[in-house]
Amino acid sequence: MHNKTVAELARDLSQGTYSSVELTQHFLNRIKQEDTRYNSFITVTEDDALRDAKAADERRSKGEATPWTGIPFAHKDIFCTNGVRTTCASKMLENFVPPYDATVTARFRDAGAVCLGKTNMDEFAMGSSTENSHFGATTNPWGEKLVPGGSSGGSAAAVAARLTPAATATDTGGSIRQPAAFCGITGLKPTYGRVSRYGMIAFASSLDQGGTMSRTAEDSAMMLNVMAGFDPKDSTSVDQPVPDYTANLNAPLKGLRVGLPKEYFSDQLDPVMAQTVRDAVREYEALGATVKEISLPNTHLAIAAYYVIAPAEASANLSRFDGVRYGYRCDNPKDLMDLYTRTRAEGFGSEVKRRILVGSYALSAGFFDAYYLKAQKVRRLIQQDFVEAFKSVDIIMSPSTPSPAFALGSNTDDPVKMYLEDIFTIAINLAGVPAMSIPAGQIKGLPVGLQLIGNYFDEARLLNAAHQFQQATDWHQQSPAG
Ligand code: GLN
């Protein structure tokens, strides 16, 4: 059962091949047996899952089933779950039990899906390796000494190891696409505003976006059908009609205009990586696409702009964790100042503190114009690069990452080296356009991701292009040994 996709499981459940209780128990058993190796879950909600599975089976027997009824999945531990601990992988929220559901959580609940638990991540989604977790690092099922990527590394590892058929995730600068690439799965970051951020613990509010992790594009389409849509509780949620994302998956790709940004295929790109990605692009040509070189001239400014804007927003968002309202509180504070400083010193990990320091500095009165304002202007230029490019192409393709999964510990002493891991993903968040990573090859037995970048609200086209590639190739079917 665990090798089946969400679409296949939905078919089996509707045909009565097995019940949701049996299916859910199967995945819970797998988590119990296998996750000591990967540490991909922070919390497993066995009792809730079995209760929800039973309820799903009852609804089905009354003829009230929909595509997600009784399907197990997992949430990144950044989505608030009513009554279930939500930690954001931080000591600060180690014992935080939200009294409400995030909109994404509520939508999956309403759809009848069965949540197996909450997945590991970098603390407050800050990182590219899932090594910055208060609950210990997650490892990559493709190699126990490798990182799964981050920050959504728990979701990616759990899907790759077949501990869950699918998982939610979030992407502020690459946290869906990079771990999806490293773990050989399919990940989609939708257009900014497509999926509600209500109840999704904020890192950098103008960049954060919830999305999907699954084995196939078809499953991602099924997930987006649940997740996407206007939410009056999120002021940046966009009121646009939601298509059925599964409806267009089989459209032929003939005439699809693909652009390859020359800045993403520079001399600095590892030649083996470049070749692997170009081979995948050739597959698109065989499917009827036309390919041309394009330019995104401000690409080289993206990381610098991001590492001003994201920490600035993070420093503001994380000011709420003060030991007064909720979350961790230090023991025996002497006075209010001691309460604030010790709570934050003890509750946050070092990467989170680094971001708060950088962000507070960039926003301070004397430096605001030089850093924050400047970064916002650069952001506009980057966005205009994409607007310009999409006048002549439908999809932009690039590598998702500079290399396959790197070794645990290899970047932890050098934050800048770690930041550069997101060189191909960050500009997309600054522009707000949607993008996917799909498995598209291997280097020395490790998965390589192809990034597909779309125009605003063009998720259906991305999913169609990804699905057609997956009909023609079997990279998405490769699984880690064991
Ligand atoms: N790795 C990037 C960072 O550390 C992006 C993280 C994310 O997308 N949440 O900020």
Please give the Cα distance from 405 to 438 (Å, whole number). Answer: 15
For 45, 120, 142, 413, the CA distances from 32, given in Å and listed in that order, are 12, 15, 19, 33
Residues of the chain with pLDDT under 50: none
Q: From the CA of 403, how far away is ligand 1's center (Å)?
A: 17
Angle between helices 374-389 and 302-317 (to 10 degrees): 120
Catalytic residue among 20, 40, 76, 398: 76
Q: What is the pLDDT of residues 185-243, one digit of tens each?
A: 999 999 999 999 999 999 999 999 999 999 999 999 999 999 999 999 999 999 999 99
219 CA to centre of own chain: 15
For 5, 13, 18, 459, the CA distances from 65, given in Å and listed in that order, are 18, 10, 14, 26
Q: From the CA of 91, how far away is ligand 1's center (Å)?
A: 19
Residues touching ligand 1 (Cβ under 6 Å) are 125-128, 151, 171-175, 203, 310, 422
**The model scores a pTM over 0.85:** yes
pLDDT of residue 482: 61
Q: Which atom of ligand 1 is nearest to the CA of 172?
A: 8
pLDDT of residue 370: 92
CATH number at residue 415: 3.90.1300.10
Q: How many structural domains are present in the chain?
A: 1
Q: Which atom of ligand 1 is nearest to the CA of 125?
A: 9
pLDDT of residue 5: 98
Q: From the CA of 354, how far away is ligand 1's center (Å)?
A: 13
Catalytic residue among 151, 152, 155, 220: 151
Mutate to test the pocket of ligand 1, among 123, 126, 318 (most ligand atoms within 8 A of CB): 126
Q: Which atom of ligand 1 is nearest to the CA of 126?
A: 4
Q: From the CA of 120, how far away is ligand 1's center (Å)?
A: 14
Containing structural domain, residue 240: 1-482
To the query of whether residue 175 is one of the catalytic residues in this protein, the response is yes
Mutate to test the pocket of ligand 1, among 76, 129, 151, 182 (most ligand atoms within 8 A of CB): 151
Is residue 57 within 8 Å of residue 70, measured between CB atoms? Answer: yes
Tokens encoding 158: 């759990």
Give the sign of the dihedral formed by CA 385, CA 437, CA 11, CA 63.
negative
pLDDT of residue 417: 87
Q: From the CA of 421, how far away is ligand 1's center (Å)?
A: 10
To the query of whether residue 76 is one of the catalytic residues in this protein, the response is yes
Which residue's alpha carbon is nearest to atom 4 within ligand 1? 127
